[in-house]
Chains A and B, each alone.
Chain A
Amino acid sequence: MNNDMKRIVLIFLLSLSGLVLTARGKFVVERVYISTDKDCYVAGDYVGCSAFCFDVSDGARHLSDFSSIVYLELVSADGVAQKEKIALIEGRGSGLIKLSPELPSGNYYLVAYTKQNINESGFIPSGKMLSIFNVFSTERVKGSAPADEKVAPKSEDYLPNSIDLEVLVDIDNSKISLLNHTGESAMVSVSVFHDDSLSSLPEYSIVDFYNGLKHTNFGDIYSADRADYEGEVIEVLSDARGKDLLLSFVGHCSDLYVSTVDSSGHAFFYTRNIYGENDAILQVCAENPSEKSRHEIVSPFIGYYGYSIPKLSISEDMEERLILRGMGMQTVKRFGGDTLADGLFLRPSAILNNPDKKYILDDYTRFATMTEVFVEYIPEVSIRKENGSSDLSVLVEDYMGQPYYSHFSSLVLIDGVPIQNRETVLSYDQALVKEIDVYTHSYLFANHLYNGIISIKTFKENLPSFSLENNVTIANFNGALYPQSLTWSKIKDFDSYPDLRQTIYWHPSVTILPKGSFNFEFMFPKYEGAFEIVVEGITSSGEAIYYKQHIK
């Protein structure tokens, strides 16, 4: 074989191996990094989280546009203490975790993963270590015991700051500027917090996460089952095999989903991201609503807790600092400090946002019954008698905007929950109703076509005084955390606020344009102390950014 031939065969083999590799990794391999506002808390505190979900399947590190949900578990040596979700938009997401006030003191591991990771063989979630002290209880996580000696402060030597980012602090005017010296956008989280040296945990930043990736062996992904592409895929176990199930959420008028229960009793609901704590309503689409059936939402969490977590050291010299922390946590709760959080961008709902007709009942004469309300001032809805029972029909518009009645039934929602028995709608107490929205078009939910939608909203938005049918199951559903920042911009308006905040500025998703800057103001709390600013994130090409500076 001459040299040319040898070269061709070599390239051929290399190319073939490339193909094999591509075929092996045909599913997206993801890894999640969570940055937090600090690494030490008291039970009852809020933990500011910023999620960076990376697609590492091609050896590169760029934000993944695949998964839409990150699953978080707060794990101690005792087991999984809390489970949360963060919604992702193009690889980024955030949320405030409210730590349970009953958490025992200890070190916890905050692990994060996506459903793609669950499909990866040998995957063990990783994350960030947090110290949590309970200032009201002496209960400790297994293995945590008071130390006899003073706890050694953590080393001040850590990573050098990124040269790509410059931080200018103007203490006199309480202003900070972040200057991005790169020619790329920088996506970072920014935290300014009280540095009271309570935590003795080693520093862990996005740079460590990146270094860890170099030594990670990625497992084969054997499936992409029910990956959370558009939003969370919710799995339900039901005994209504072969029937269609409706999934809705009390107070969420845009979130109605339909799925068929398969022969093994599973139904999968492909949802957009659902936020907050909710009552999920599961019901069978049946002609006979009194037919009983049982449904259960399957937990998507791994629940693994076999990690090696260092013990938390507690010493007497921490007392004063812990008292200050405890008071800070309580004042936030007592004085509604948590209501000062700023809401960040949510993925919008694509449907049922703008009703064709909206009736605020207080704008009209209040009638005694719902039947009168519909008859007297909602011309788009007619009450029809069919086989001895009442039905509500919506006058829908055709292609050219001409109204007509169709033979398909309409959908009636009260606070987002489909009500199949129309008699119960008509006998509902109208005094509880704030608004009736009418959608005069046909809507499709999976294979269910509804000829117009009547969406009844109550003042309380929680379906008050309504007796649900026998075929309904109510389940607690914790959706994604609402993305929020704690910039405390409104705190200036509250002079009497006993300001003992530990985190004085937290923004989980700041984007700084190439060669651009991000400027913000902060306010020192009403106690003396040392503070620290930490900025971490990535550039659009995936380079890590880390910057830490003491503010005195």
Chain B
Amino acid sequence: MKKTLIIILLVLTSVSFLYSQSKEVYDYYMDNASYNAVLYRGRIKTPLNFRYQGTPFAYTEDFTQGKLFYNGKEYYDVWLNINSYTDELEVRYSPDRQNQTIVLEKKLVKYFIVNDKKFEYIAGKSIPDGFYEILHDGKSDLIKKNKKMLIEEENLTRNKIFMSSNSYYILLNGIYYPVKGKSAFAKCFKERKKDIKRVSRQFSSLRSDDKDAYYITIFTQGCNQ
């Protein structure tokens, strides 16, 4: 009996805290507005009309629901995807509206969160303007820029392939430092050289398997950020 009551209590309490009032009202508004919402007016992206391998998007062709802060307003559960070939954020009213993909004005995007990954539009700094994934947001930041390039194979098939490349940067005291290897961390955080070396060695297997995780681990554990 006591256990049951405690469980009910915990469930109810957590529900009551998680219950977001503005989200509720927001949902009501968006249900009413549907595709008439201001968010869904704009330039549309025509679909690619040739066969290709890979994807122009950062991770997957599928649109996923995420949170977006756009033109001073928060939007929840928006179907969105980041196009790394054009460096544009694309949204859809619903995932099945493939021919009605809207490209948002990137300068008005403060941030968006999709699949637990946070992206921000960074402009007017020492790094190229564009969308960057925030890999770690702490005492200083570790960010990543994913770029896609379209390559045509030089053989009879002339296959078109989207090739991916990533650049990483540390934002420390307002300055962006490019990260091309573990030495970049040691350069930024000289006093933690030993820890960086130790963590790098300990997680060396990640270097080729999952570079994001490798850099995040060095940044958080080695650099203590």
Chain A residues with a Cβ under 8 A of chain B: 4-5, 8-9, 11-12, 15-16, 18-19, 22, 25-28, 55, 57-58, 65-66, 68, 89-90, 116, 224-227, 229-231, 233, 256-259, 268-272, 347-348, 350-351, 353, 398-400, 439, 441-447, 449
Contacts and interface: CB of A to CB of B under 8 A. Distances in A.
B91 to A, nearest CB: 11
Contacts of A445: 41
A256 B41 CA distance: 9
B4 to A, nearest CB: 10
A443 B42 contact: yes
B143 interface: no
Interface string B42-64: 11111111000000000000000
Interface of B: 1-2, 5-6, 8-9, 12-13, 15-16, 19, 21-22, 24-26, 28-29, 32-33, 35-49, 70-74, 100, 102, 104-105, 108
A409 to B, nearest CB: 15
B72 A227 contact: no
A458 B29 CA distance: 37
A19 B18 CA distance: 11
B12 A350 contact: no
Contacts of B48: 399-400
Contact of A27 (B12, B25, B43): B25
11 contacts: A12-B9, A15-B12, A66-B25, A227-B29, A233-B33, A259-B36, A351-B41, A441-B43, A443-B43, A443-B44, A444-B42
Contacts of A5: 1-2, 5
A356 to B, nearest CB: 10
Given A11-B9, A229-B29, A90 B72 contact: yes
Given A230-B39, A270-B37, A399-B45, A351 B22 contact: no
A26 B74 CA distance: 18
Contact of A446 (B35, B43, B44): B35
A444 B32 contact: no
A230 B104 contact: no
B32 to A, nearest CB: 7
Nearest to A254: B41
B214 to A, nearest CB: 34
A35 B36 CA distance: 34
Contact of B44 (A227, A258, A270, A449): A449
Contact of B72 (A256, A270, A347): A347
Nearest to B41: A445
Given A28-B22, A57-B21, A443-B43, 14 more contacts: A12-B9, A12-B12, A19-B12, A19-B16, A225-B32, A227-B25, A227-B28, A231-B38, A348-B71, A350-B70, A351-B105, A442-B46, A444-B42, A444-B100
